[in-house]
Amino acid sequence: MAQIDILIIGGGAAALSAALFLPEKTRALLVCKPYNLGCSTEYAQGGIACPIDADDIQSHIDDTIKAGAGRCREAVVKLLVSEGYELMGELLKMGAPFDRDENGALLRAKEAAHGKARILRAGGDQTGVKIRSFLLEKLRYPARFGEVVDLLIENDRCYGATIASGDLRENIYARHTIIASGGFGALYAVTTNPPSILGELQGIAAFRGRKLSDMHFTQFHPTALATGAPAQKPLLSEALRGEGATIIDDRDRRFLEDYGANELSPRDLVSRAVFAHIKSGRKAYLDLSGFDERYLRERFASAYGKLIEFGLKPPFGKAPISPAFHYAMGGIAIDERARVLDTKGLYAIGEAAMSGAHGANRLASNSLTEALAFGAIAAETIASDSSSAKERSFGVIGEPSRVEGDGEVLDTIRDTLWNRAGVERDSASLNKAASVLEALSERKLGLLTRRSLITARTIISHAIDEKQSVGAHYIGKESV
């Protein structure tokens, strides 16, 4: 029975960061979904939050904890910010393509709830694409396409995973397995996430007895481009507001103050304000009229391209917006060294994990910081692990990944989560959602759809258990 040292599940920033910092001569393999849409990193526009200098570390920690609404693990926040600061220095030495001015100084932007302009960007609003390309160039291990359909767990140890590639299934045995598969945004009807981000690994982990935490802390981005049919909404980066874009309604009125917010308030406040204003019968727009077209094209190339793609013509005046699911603060519970709780040989990083760094409401641009930093932390933890385990053999699970009717079930999950566990929730809607999802569990489902359903049901159960509004979990007025 062949066994490798490390199996990495995922192909985004967290997975590639872990691969970058693994010990030399490691036998490692990356497995990711067989299409580029399986990676949220590609859609990260805003940038990477990093202290300006050592004196700014505490300020960045304070901003993160404040945004997290009292639910951050302070020790993890300190680790994230300090490790992130050191890591950005290493990446810069490696040639990471962060934007610089004509004198070679790093350009930094300001985003919501940050006390200072500390956001590093690459290619303007193409940070995710640029950083992932940079990390892929550094990748020294083989990668293959496939979907993880099971984790090989017995008692308190993980021995690898079962991978499906077309009709072929096989067990890949590994001393260490890193889950870096992303969040679960495509379980919501309106989202900025690609359509394959369905939270299967969270469901697999829960099915195998691992703990999921804070699954109800779901962040909604306030300025997704309000397009027609596609569920995945293009993101209009928060950095646009950091550089002067404003939010207005169909009367050209800046309305955020009516809801106790402004353009650079935390995302939960701005999302609720925009959501409530639209709900009241108004329309919402991001006013871009103050931007020079050339500057917008060069500095925000991704947003510029999306505006063109969806029918807006330069010079852009105002772009229609609405909130959309953006990021999962909750996930597979880990400790401060990226180890999945009570499980030897298993790690979770990035959006798949709940480290406690984000609390109830993630600070803007801390997601790529966490992905990169905890990728490095996982690699360091593995390098220091001298434990060994006897090799084990597992049967290959035979249940089909998808069956006819799964698409309809996934659509029901999406509509249920968006309408009943979205920007606003209430107890009646959440209880109704629980009933709808419970009924779905009685249907014949493919294996991975069943695991996604576990994830969706956990989101609802955690939301029901949280009786008070906190961070991104907002209890509104009862409306069934």
CB-CB contact of 403 with 445 (8 Å): yes
What number of other Cβ atoms are within 10 A of residue 343's Cβ? 24
What is the three-class DSSP state of 158?
strand
Bond into 315 cis (ω within 30) = yes
User: Could you tell me the end-to-end alpha-carbon distance of the chain, in angstroms, rounded to an integer?
Assistant: 55
Q: Identify the CA nearest to 365 among candidates 84, 161, 149, 175.
A: 84
Q: Both tokens of residue 338? A: 């990226």
CA distances to 194, 270, 346, 420 from 188, rounded to whole Å, are: 11, 19, 28, 10
In the set 108, 267, 272, 451, the catalytic residue is 267
Rg from Cα positions in the chain: 21
> What does each C-alpha distance from 36 to 138, 201, 227, 389, 417 come to in angstroms?
18, 18, 22, 35, 25
Per the annotation, the verdict on 267 as an active-site residue is: yes
**Are 247 and 287 in contact, with CB atoms under 8 Å apart?**
yes
Q: Which residues of 307-341 are buried (b: 16+ CB within 10 A; e: fewer)?
A: beebebeeebebbbbbbbbbbbbbbbbbebbbbbe
Q: Which of 358, 33, 45, 39 is nearest to 218 (CA)?
A: 358
User: Distance between CA 20 and CA 367 in Å, rounded?
Assistant: 18
Instruction: Give the active site residues.
Output: 267
